[in-house]
Amino acid sequence: MSDREVRSVSGVLVKEARRILKKHAQRIAPEPCEAIRESATRLAAHREAGAWSDAREEVEVLDELLHQHASFARKGVIRELVENIGIAVLVALALRSCFYEPFKIPSGSMMPTLRNGDHIFVNKFVYGVQIPFTTTVVGKQLGEIKRGDVIVFRYPIDPSEDFIKRVIGLPGDVVRVDGSEVAVKRAGSEEFVTLARRKLDEPCRDELGKQIVPRCTLYEEDNGDRAYVVRYEPNFDPRTGGPAQRRGEWSVPAGQLLVMGDNRNHSHDSLAWTKVVEAVAADGVISVRDLRDLTPETLFKLTRPESTSSGDPRSDHVLYFAEHRSPKHAVELSVWREPSLGVDTIYDTVVEGFGAGAEATTLEALFEGATAYHKSQPQKQAQVARATEAITAMTVAEQGEDGFDGVIKLAAQGAVIQFRCGSAACNSREMFGRRIANVLDGYVKDPGQDARELEIGASHIRYSQHWTSRGRVIDKFLDRRFTQTGAAGGRASTVRLRAWRDTDEGDDFLRDASLRAVGSSTASASAVAEDGIQRDSWLAQDEEALTLVSSYRTAGVTVMLECGRQLCADEPRLYELARAVAAKVPAAARDRRRLKELLVAGDIKGWREVPEEDASAQRKYEFDRLRLDGTVRSERYSVGVWARKLEPGEDAAAAVTALADELHESAPSGAVVDGGIVGATSGGGYGHVFAIPETSVVVRVDCSEGLCPTAADAEALARRAADKARDESNFIDPNAERPYPYVPRGNVKGRADRIWLPLRRFWLPIR
């Protein structure tokens, strides 16, 4: 053996001899035991003195002594190998657990920063050292997690999975996401700060980095002292049929983090995580059906505030906001095109409906004394000029809180347009004029447009649209005339029937317009009370003809029967003809194809039908209307419900008092349940808090003044909640899905630092 080998072997033999003597000396005879001790001492002395020749001889002596007298305690080859491998594994585990760990990217949620299949190194001591197989971190002072860091962590819902995302919110932050806009209100701050970003010119590419992805945009985003690239690519939402939008607000608790992927629309991250638990569901105590039963509203939207929905599953809080129709925000546009009763008749009938507050005016007059925005914008000025030129007459009525009502006659186009605008949608005469100019400009350019295609002006108010289709003439309107052969054809020798079926103009409007068309009104016409004649019928007569206008309201049919004096010299003959028409109205109401049967040649023997100039069945009906009902959601039209399952042994009275803490002027009340509390809510209205012993649940129901104007209304709603809370199956959901958005600090394994595969990106730092 060489001197180096002697040095190595001698050290091993000395350690082995001392270990055997320490553990097994009692099993070796005294004389051999002493010989081994002396040999080991001499070998150690030779090794220390560097006497390698003497050490070489002593190695052979000690090895023989150990072989003869202590072979039972010596390690075999296999044992030695196993121990060496074990030591190596422990060292590797220590390095992996406490310092660096390789990690493979499993998805494209971090594109473009990281791609599916990338291999990275995770720095595991940058935030402190995590004790293996625990969530305990020691040495946190080594470094703090920062906003914008890319971290690897155990998935909070299933800790057996590792996730990689970017830190957006730290403990105490409030993160608000609205589509592609991310804002953070840092702990201790009062204002949200939107994360600055810059659009990049480079295109998005697929996970292989080859194909360009359409409709995808890259942005460089700043968060803290980090700048990184994120991408927004529309993804399909089956609920809306369009791109999914991520929206919400998250308050990050102490010891937690909020994370997002860089591939914002395709990342399963804090904004999307949910967990199935057995939970209290406050909407089981009060449901939409209950609200429809006990309040004047029918449409409600349920929201579950994030601050409560992500917490204890034994508690829940829901808010119902009524979709309250607001006349102040309503907008309505009605258009008559070449009406059969005449443009003047329709215009005058609409004006009459305005009442005493109506005034004839001009479009330009609506802008007087206001900012007259159009005068400084040539395009708007031209628009107003075109609209003004088309107007023959215009009347406007200010309806106080209901806003403005206006009607415009366009004689050249043979049209009448009525526009109504609530006081919130049109808060000034100028705004009303501006929206009328938009409508008229569009109509003059293309009179064939439907009312819903005309621009009535934008608004931030949520609208529900109701449009009355023009439809085919044959389905909605009948105009049939008959005359005697050889007659001159004037009104005196003509029978004419005009009938409207299932239109949106209104029975009263059609009645008034029909009477006005023959120079009459309900004030001057006679109400008819004849057998077989519709009770809501009016008779107007002049020297040439008798006219009967009948409103069949339940059938949705209005009939105007005009009979010349040549046939109807007196009223009985008119009534006889009207009874024949009345008998056919029910069939025409049920089947649009039978509208034409209301009056036929067989009903007037010896008379022939005068053909209509335009008999095309495909021609559209003269009238259509677009109504936009503005709805608002506010605290004034809301109901809040809280439900909390008591812990075993918890004091119910104390829980009731705690839940009633936010009520004003609260007082004990047994109106709903003994031991309850009633008080006033912050937004007006009444709140009831009570405990249900049968199911160990505490409930609070707040009803706003808009939905519960009286204390009795709120009490009825609270009683309904108490009745339902007595059955646990109503409010305990065994498969409730609750948001689970945060990453516990102890789940963080480390920061992603470097890419080491693929080779073309070897050792690139992760931004």
pLDDT in the model for residue 241: 44
Q: Please check whether residue 364 lies inside any domain of the structure.
A: yes
Is the pLDDT at 487 greater than 80, yes or no? no
Quick one: 226 and 181 in the same domain?
yes
| Tokens 């657990």 -> residue | 97
Quick one: 335 and 461 in the same domain?
yes
Last residue of a domain, one of 554, 584, 616: 616
Pick the more confident residue, 92 or 427: 427
Indicate the range of 216-225, 535-544, 753-762 predicted with least confidence.
753-762
Res. 139 pLDDT band, cuts 50 70 90: low
What would the pLDDT profile of 549-581 be if each residue is shown by its tens digit? 999 998 999 999 999 999 999 999 999 999 999
Quick one: 129 and 257 in the same domain?
yes
Q: Got the DSSP string for 305-352?
A: -HHHHTS-TTEEEEEEEE-EE-GGG-EEEEEEES-TT-HHHHHHHHHH
pLDDT in the model for residue 78: 47
pLDDT in the model for residue 418: 96
| Tokens 């349940």 -> residue | 673
Last residue of a domain, one of 468, 497, 520: 468
Q: Please check whether residue 93 lies inside any domain of the structure.
A: no
The torsion of the CA quartet 594, 596, 597, 599, rounded to 10 degrees, works out to: 150
The stretch 675-686 carries a mean pLDDT of: 92
Q: Please check whether residue 85 lies inside any domain of the structure.
A: no
Q: Please check whether residue 625 lies inside any domain of the structure.
A: no
What would the pLDDT profile of 602-617 be if each residue is shown by its tens digit? 899 888 888 876 544 4
What is the domain range of residue 558? 473-616
From residue 606, alpha-carbon distances to 498, 573, 645 in Å are: 21, 15, 85
Is the pLDDT at 242 greater than 50, yes or no? no
Q: Any catalytic annotation for residue 15? A: no
Q: Please check whether residue 81 lies inside any domain of the structure.
A: no
Q: Please check whether residue 622 lies inside any domain of the structure.
A: no
We report the CATH number of the domain holding residue 289 as 3.40.1000
Measured between alpha carbons, how far is 692 from 655 in angstroms, rounded to an integer? 12
Last residue of a domain, one of 468, 489, 511: 468
The stretch 14-33 carries a mean pLDDT of: 84
One-letter amino acid at 342 equals: G
Quick one: 267 and 280 in the same domain?
no
Quick one: 373 and 439 in the same domain?
yes
What would the pLDDT profile of 515-525 be if each residue is shown by its tens digit? 999 999 999 99
Quick one: 156 and 186 in the same domain?
yes
Measured between alpha carbons, how far is 573 from 569 in angstroms, rounded to an integer? 7
Q: Please check whether residue 228 lies inside any domain of the structure.
A: yes
Give the number of domains in the chain.
5
Angle at 351 between CA 345 and CA 353, to 5 degrees: 105
Measured between alpha carbons, how far is 318 from 701 in angstroms, rounded to an integer? 10
Quick one: 126 and 265 in the same domain?
yes
Res. 1 pLDDT band, cuts 50 70 90: low
Measured between alpha carbons, how far is 589 from 501 in angstroms, rounded to an integer? 7
Quick one: 292 and 248 in the same domain?
no
What would the pLDDT profile of 589-602 be if each residue is shown by its tens digit? 999 889 999 999 88
- Structural tokens at position 767: 């931004």
- Give the total residue count for the chain: 767
Pick the more confident residue, 648 or 26: 648
pTM above 0.85, yes or no: no
Quick one: 269 and 281 in the same domain?
no
The stretch 127-142 carries a mean pLDDT of: 66
Residue from 526, 595, 520 nearest 558 by CA? 595
Q: Any catalytic annotation for residue 189? A: no
Quick one: 482 and 612 in the same domain?
yes
Rounded to the nearest integer, the mean pLDDT of the chain is: 87
What would the pLDDT profile of 76-131 be if each residue is shown by its tens digit? 544 555 555 555 555 455 555 556 788 899 889 999 999 998 999 998 878 877 66
Catalytic residue among 165, 185, 476, 584: 165
Measured between alpha carbons, how far is 74 from 495 in angstroms, rounded to an integer? 129
Q: Please check whether residue 501 lies inside any domain of the structure.
A: yes
pLDDT in the model for residue 79: 52
Q: Per 3-state DSSP, what percentage of the chain is helix, strand, and coil (rounded to 5)?
A: 35, 30, 35
Quick one: 215 and 281 in the same domain?
no
We report the CATH number of the domain holding residue 206 as 2.10.109.10
Quick one: 551 and 666 in the same domain?
no
- What phi, psi does 426 have (nearest 5°)? -125, 90
Catalytic residue among 10, 107, 109, 514: 109
Q: Which of 470-484, 649-663, 728-742 has the highest mean pLDDT?
A: 649-663
Which residues are bridge partners to 221 per DSSP?
Answer: 197, 228
pLDDT in the model for residue 90: 52
pLDDT in the model for residue 383: 83
pLDDT in the model for residue 83: 56
Indicate the range of 38-42, 399-403, 406-410, 460-464 predicted with least confidence.
460-464
Measured between alpha carbons, how far is 388 from 440 in angstroms, rounded to an integer? 9
Q: Judge whether 485 and 608 are in contact, CB under 8 Å.
A: yes
The stretch 704-732 carries a mean pLDDT of: 95
In 197-209, which positions are buried (b, 16+ CB within 10 angstroms) versus exposed (e)?
beeeeeebbebee
- How many other C-beta atoms can be found within 10 angstroms of the C-beta atom of residue 362? 14
